[in-house]
Amino acid sequence: MKKLSFILLAGIAISGCKGKRAANYQDSASATSPQKTGEWVNLLADSSMSGWHTYGKGPVGSAWKLKDGELHLDASKKADWQTAGGGDIITNDEYENFDLKVEWKISRAGNSGIMFYVHEDTTKYKYAWQTGPETQIADNKENEDGKLIKHRAGDLYDLMSIDKEIVNKADNWNKTEVIANNGSLTILVNHEVVLKTTMWDANWQKLIAGSKFKEWPGFGTFKKGRIALQDHGADVWFKNVEIKKL
């Protein structure tokens, strides 16, 4: 009986450890080399995508394919509105004040996004977009979101529209830059400033209250969080994803 009890207890302990590791994947995955302030880091430098994981889950799925510094979401196999083997991917590291540069290309009629200040808590937020602001990626000509104010490529999704239309059409590269520093937010598209605002003040709260995000308490309030690339069920490409801590 003593031997059997020991085996049962050992099995329970191992099972418990596995569950804990699965629940806290993002914590163990965050053990990366610390980034110095003012230092640019290429977030796609590691072909194994070790600096990223799927929101609320484990390693990056097989639909995300990184080759020669170019990341492609192969959305040929669907899983509801997203991709089988896909899902939103987020950085293991969190960022407070930063300058983020991303080059991207969207497929015809496609939709995606770049999110920041993402707070990973699946007990409250099923998807990354329910926690952190998103600068939209879309084919404005053929995607349904491209017809909606505040939902077009470059917009701060459902919060603010960009003040000029300078996004290249589908299957062409664009460059988005997000500069967030002590509440000041500036977004550039193809090297031109298209949006400036202040986060976390009364006006910011008003913008959230007038958006779909009012359904998720805490949205847009986090002052430190992860960077996310969205799986919206369409083929999308990213390259030269670089970030600098300010």
- The tens digit of pLDDT for each residue in 42-59 reads 999 999 999 999 999 999
148 and 83 assigned to the same domain: yes
Element (H, E) at 89: strand 89-91
Tens digit of each residue's pLDDT (9 = 90 or more) over 56-70: 999 999 999 999 999
217 and 186 assigned to the same domain: yes
Residue 11: pLDDT band with limits 50, 70, 90: very low
Structurally, the chain folds into a number of domains equal to 2
98 and 218 assigned to the same domain: yes
131 and 228 assigned to the same domain: yes
91 and 190 assigned to the same domain: yes
- Quick check: 14 pLDDT over 90? no
CA-CA distance, 86 to 230, in Å (whole number)? 9
Q: Which domain holds residue 1?
A: 1-31
Mean pLDDT of all residues in 26-47: 77
15 and 112 assigned to the same domain: no
Element (H, E) at 3: helix 2-23
16 and 122 assigned to the same domain: no
CA-CA distance, 16 to 184, in Å (whole number)? 43
Mean pLDDT of all residues in 25-31: 50
Closest CA relative to residue 45, chosen from 113, 106, 91, 96: 91
Beta bridge mates, 126? none
16 and 128 assigned to the same domain: no
CA-CA distance, 187 to 136, in Å (whole number)? 11
